[in-house]
Amino acid sequence: MPMKNGNIDDEKLAGFASRVLQKMGISKEDSLITAQKLVQTDLRGIESHGVAHLGPFYVRRIRAGLINPKPNIKIISQTPTTAVIDGDRGLGFVVGHKAMLEAMNKAATTGVGFVSVRHSTHCGAGSVYSLMALSRNMIGISMTTGGVGIEVPGSRGGGAALNVISIAAPADEEPPFVLDMAASVVAAGKIEIALREGKAIPAGWAVDGKGNSITDPRKYYTDKGAVLPLGGSTLLGSYKGFGLSVAIEILCSLLSGALSIPQIVGRPDYEGSANHFFGALRIESFTPVAEFKKNMDEMVRTYRSLPKAPGVERITLAGEPECNLERERLKNGIHFHPSVIASLQKLSQELNIEYDL
C-alpha cells in the first residue's frame, strides 16, 4: 500500500513497528498490541508518545535490559471488583492493555473494576487505555507514573513524578469526552517536540535546576530542568498540580504495593520502572446508556453554545480535536518530522527489516 498524499499509512506503520518489536524478542501478539497503541497515539496527534519513541526509547531499553521482552504478567491479588497486577517489567503497552481488559471484565460483571499495577514500564499515552472502555459502554480511567520531572512547590529541580491521568466517556452524536493530561502545566513530551523541531518553549513551562525560567528546550535536558506543576506558581495554584501528581502516585504505586517513583530515584534496579492504575465503570449500572449518551450530547452542546471570546470560532471539549485529527489521518495518512522518519529507517537497517512505509 503506497503512502497517502505523501504521509504514512497507519496500517503499514503498525505492521512495521510490530516487526521491529518481534525482532527484539517480543511475541507477535504483544508486538501487535504495542504497535497498534503507538500508531493510535500518532493518529490522535500525541506525537511525543508514538512511533518517535520506537527506536530511541523502547528498542534501546529492551537492549539495555530495562524492559523484559518475555514477562510473566500475573495477578497478585484480586476481589470481584479489584486486582493488583505485577508486570514483571514487561512492555508497558502490553501490561497496560491486559490490566485495562481485567478492569473492564470485572466491570462487566459487577458494574465497576479497578486494577493497580506495579513493576511495569512506560506505557505511552494514557488515552489509549481509557478509550478501550467506550466500545463496551463504559467510562474508562487510566493513570500512570512517569519519571521524576515536576518541580515541587517550595523546592528546586524535579521532585515529583510526571504522572498522567486520562478519563474517557462516550457520547451519542458528539465526539467522546477524552481527558488525557499530565499533572504539570505541559507534558514533558512537548519539550521533546520543541527540541526536535528546533523551537523555543514558552516561558512558564519549565525551569532549570536552580529554578530559573527557561525557553531553550536544550536546557531542560542539560541543566537538570523540571516542568512546573499545573498552575505554574504557588500564586496560581501549583500546589494543585503537585497534589494531583501525588494522588496519581498513591493509586498507581502505593496501592499496588510498589514504592513511589520519587523513592526509587537513582536506584539502578528500578531504572525505567512505572506503575499504573486502570478503572472501568459500566454505565448501565448507574443509568441507562442511551439516556447517558443523550445527556452527554446536550452537555457538550451547552458548553459549545457559550458566548465566545474575540477571535474564538469554536469552543471544544477534551478529546474533540484528537477525534477530528484521527478521522483525517485515517483517511490521508500521518505526517512525521524528518527526524522520526530517519529513526524508523535506521531501525530498518539495523534489524534488517524491509522499510515499506
Written in H, E and C, the secondary structure of 111-162 is: CEEEEEEEEEECCCCCHHHHHHHHHHCEEEEEEECCCEEEECCCCCCEEEEC
Is the residue at 313 inside a domain? no
Is the residue at 213 inside a domain? yes
Residues 128 and 260 in one domain: yes
What is each CA distance from 299 to 126, 176, 181, in whole angstroms? 24, 12, 21
Report the CATH number that the domain containing residue 281 is assigned in CATH. 3.30.1370.60
Task: Order across the sheet with 158-161: list the strands.
Answer: 158-161, 148-151, 226-227, 206-207, 213-214
Residues 49 and 174 in one domain: no
Residues 177 and 326 in one domain: no
User: 114 forms bridges with which residues in the sheet?
Assistant: 82, 279
Is the residue at 127 inside a domain? yes
What is the domain range of residue 21?
A: 1-64+319-357
* pLDDT score at 48: 87
Residues 81 and 118 in one domain: yes
Q: Which of residues 196, 227, 258 is at a domain's end?
A: 227
Residues 256 and 154 in one domain: yes
Residues 180 and 190 in one domain: no
Residues 201 and 252 in one domain: no
Residues 135 and 146 in one domain: yes
Total of domains in the chain: 3
Per-residue DSSP letter, 90: -
Is the residue at 96 inside a domain? yes
Is the residue at 172 inside a domain? yes
Residues 22 and 165 in one domain: no
Give CA–CA dist 239/282, Å, rounded. Answer: 33
- Looking from the CA of 38 toward its CB, the CA atoms found within 13 Å total 28
C-alpha cell at 193: 517536540
Report the CATH number that the domain containing residue 6 is assigned in CATH. 1.10.1530.10
Are 277 and 251 in contact by the 8 Å Cβ rule? The answer is yes
Is the residue at 177 inside a domain? yes
Q: Going residue by residue through the chain, which has 357 residues, state the pLDDT in tens, using 9 for 90 and above.
A: 445 555 999 999 999 999 999 999 999 999 999 999 999 999 999 988 999 999 999 999 999 999 999 999 999 999 999 999 999 999 999 999 999 999 999 999 999 999 999 999 999 999 999 999 999 999 999 999 999 999 999 998 889 999 999 999 999 999 999 999 999 999 998 999 999 889 999 999 999 988 999 999 999 999 989 999 999 999 999 999 999 999 999 999 999 999 999 999 889 889 999 999 999 999 999 999 999 999 999 999 999 999 999 999 999 999 999 999 999 999 999 999 999 999 999 999 999 999 999
Is the residue at 314 inside a domain? no
Residues 173 and 190 in one domain: no
Is the residue at 293 inside a domain? yes
Residues 95 and 180 in one domain: yes
Three-state helix/strand/coil letters over 299-318: HHHHHHCCCCCCCCCCCCCC
Residue 277, exposed/middle/buried by CB under 10 A (0-12, 13-18, 19+)? buried
* pLDDT score at 3: 55
Are 14 and 35 in contact by the 8 Å Cβ rule? The answer is yes
Residues 168 and 256 in one domain: yes
